[in-house]
Amino acid sequence: MMEIGDERVDAVVAGLVQAESLPVSDHVKVFEEAFSALEETLASVDDQ
């Protein structure tokens, strides 16, 4: 797996990779969680 270098983003990417093993019906939930986590990460950059 490719590492981005930010632990939070790397965790999101790892979760997306795990989606491969889930039924397609569960993919939307995984993508929504990833999107939310990335939004939070980007918002926290503004706070620094």
Give tens-digit pLDDT for 14-46.
Answer: 999 999 999 999 999 999 999 999 999 999 887
Residue 35 forms part of a structural domain: yes
So what's the pLDDT on residue 35? 96
Residue 2 forms part of a structural domain: no
Domain boundaries, position 31: 7-46
Of 43, 46, 39, 48, give the one whose Cα is nearest residue 12: 39
Residue 31 forms part of a structural domain: yes
Rg (CA), the chain: 12
Residue 16 forms part of a structural domain: yes
Residue 22 forms part of a structural domain: yes
pTM: 0.78
Residue type (1 letter), 22: L
Total Cβ atoms within 10 A of residue 41: 15
Residue 13 forms part of a structural domain: yes
Residue 1 forms part of a structural domain: no
Return the SS3 of 38: helix
* Cα–Cα dist 24/27, whole Å: 5
Q: What's the number of domains the chain is made of?
A: 1
